[in-house]
């Protein structure tokens, strides 16, 4: 057990509360292990009817995983980084396949690893404070924790756009895209929690529906046609060429954003979503993502991205390869190839 996660039973509800407010509840290995242990215990306990997943204090649900620790491991033998990803993905899969209903409260910042634990829930609450993003290409990583599954199933090419640019979504956007199932004003979230704790799990949908409000207009749809047209290709160079040829202000803004991203991470992301769209089993998705993570965590761009954005904070990463054409198809194939000795496996 860890004090970074509060595990408790309240009536028929099992509660998992993230408790690292200074790190916006970024996940650590002990937190993932503790959640898995609780979920496995509650899975066969008839007294537990519902799981409630939220955060204690602070300005966000979960800002991701502990990538600084992963990068430090990646500079050495990478064993600790691989152990973290293996366990985190087991948690993602366990949540995804969990038979009992789960309610996740996606209030405030929801990024990276927060997406991985929040989206598998049957009931997902967004608020006006929700800020959802998968910004991994900024640090030379890739949208993982099941993003190859989730993003590839969004309408049109929105998933590819989000994966490449790390664009942020509002709570209204999340509801519109189906990433959230309900939208509540943040001042009604505590009321929703108390009602869920007081009533059987069968009433959860009615409780959330009754407390739901009408969000503002979603912003993601403003450029929906542009996204589908300009991000239509799974070939990163072609995306860049189409954006350049378009010449609109919005296209130029996207070019400027993509110029800051790791070319390797962008190509990995497009390949992951292309493969993810064809996956029929979430365990298969996590196996592929673990193959990629176990290799990328020791490659230059992830180590350099963490240095530039999170350690030295000079915001000037030196990517290698520096240009998209330097990221060959052969390199991508190597990153996605099966692992000879340590393929990912579920927690049960």
- Express each pLDDT in 222-266 by its tens digit: 999 999 999 999 999 999 999 999 989 999 999 999 999 999 999
Question: Can you tell me the mean pLDDT for 270-290?
Answer: 98
Percent of the chain whose predicted confidence (pLDDT) is above 90 = 95
Residue 212 has pLDDT above 70, yes or no: yes
Looking at residue 341, what is its pLDDT? Answer: 84
Percent of the chain whose predicted confidence (pLDDT) is above 70 = 100
Q: What is the pTM of this model?
A: 0.97
Q: What is the pLDDT of residues 162-205, one digit of tens each?
A: 999 999 999 999 999 999 999 999 999 999 999 999 987 889 99
Active site residue 136: yes
pLDDT band at 1 (very low <50, low <70, confident <90, very high): low
Looking at residue 89, what is its pLDDT? Answer: 98
DSSP letters along 281-317, please?
Answer: -HHHHHHHHHHHHHHHTTSHHHHHHHIIIIIS-----
> What's the rounded Cα separation, in Å, for the pair 6 and 18?
6
Question: Can you tell me the mean pLDDT for 294-323?
Answer: 97
Active site residue 107: no
Active site residue 65: yes
In this structure, is the dihedral angle defined by the CA atoms of residues 37, 43, 46 and 52, taken in order, positive or negative?
A: positive
CATH 3.90.226.10 fits 1-348, yes or no: yes
Q: Annotated catalytic residue: which of 108, 113, 140, 146?
A: 113
Looking at residue 248, what is its pLDDT? Answer: 96
Query: What is the overall mean pLDDT for the chain?
Result: 96
More confident residue, 57 or 324: 324
pLDDT band at 2 (very low <50, low <70, confident <90, very high): confident
What are the φ and ψ backbone dihedral angles of 50, each rounded to 5 degrees?
Answer: -150, 145
Q: Annotated catalytic residue: which of 14, 60, 64, 65?
A: 65
Active site residue 11: no
Q: Annotated catalytic residue: which of 54, 107, 136, 289?
A: 136
**Contact by Cβ (8 Å): 14, 38:** yes
pLDDT band at 342 (very low <50, low <70, confident <90, very high): confident
Looking at residue 202, what is its pLDDT? Answer: 83
Question: Can you tell me the mean pLDDT for 29-54?
Answer: 97
Q: Annotated catalytic residue: which of 144, 173, 285, 289?
A: 144
Other Cβ atoms closer than 10 A to 257: 15
């Amino acid at each position: 057990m860890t004090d970074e996660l509060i595990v408790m039973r309240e009536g028929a509800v099992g509660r998992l509360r993230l408790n690292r407010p200074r790190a916006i509840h970024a996940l650590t290995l002990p937190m993932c292990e503790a959640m898995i242990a609780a979920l496995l215990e509650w899975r066969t306990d008839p007294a537990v009817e519902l799981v409630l997943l939220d955060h204690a204090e602070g300005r966000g649900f979960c800002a991701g995983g502990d990538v600084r620790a992963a990068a430090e491991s990646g500079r050495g033998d990478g064993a600790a980084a691989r152990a973290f990803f293996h366990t985190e993905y087991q948690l993602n899969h366990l949540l995804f396949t969990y038979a009992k209903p789960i309610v996740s409260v996606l209030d405030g910042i929801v990024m990276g690893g927060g997406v991985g634990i929040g989206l598998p829930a049957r009931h997902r609450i967004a608020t006006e404070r929700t800020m959802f993003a998968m910004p991994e290409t900024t640090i030379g990583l890739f949208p993982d924790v099941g993003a190859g599954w989730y993003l590839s199933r969004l309408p049109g090419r929105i998933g590819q756009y989000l994966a490449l640019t790390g664009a942020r979504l509002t709570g209204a956007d999340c509801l519109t895209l189906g990433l959230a199932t309900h939208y509540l004003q943040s001042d009604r979230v505590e009321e929703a929690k108390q009602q869920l704790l007081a009533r059987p799990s069968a009433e959860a949908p009615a409780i959330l529906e009754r407390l739901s409000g009408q969000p503002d207009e979603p912003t993601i749809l403003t450029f929906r046609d542009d996204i589908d047209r300009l991000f239509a290709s799974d070939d990163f160079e072609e995306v860049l060429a189409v954006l350049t040829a378009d010449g609109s202000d919005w296209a130029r803004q996207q070019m400027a954003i993509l110029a800051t991203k790791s070319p390797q991470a962008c190509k990995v992301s497009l390949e992951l979503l292309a493969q993810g769209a064809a996956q029929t089993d979430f365990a298969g998705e996590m196996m592929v993502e673990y193959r990629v993570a176990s290799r990328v965590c020791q490659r230059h761009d992830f180590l350099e991205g963490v240095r530039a954005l999170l350690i030295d904070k000079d915001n000037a990463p030196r990517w290698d390869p520096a240009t998209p054409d330097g990221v060959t198809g052969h390199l991508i194939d190597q990153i996605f190839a099966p692992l000879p000795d340590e393929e990912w496996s579920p927690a049960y």
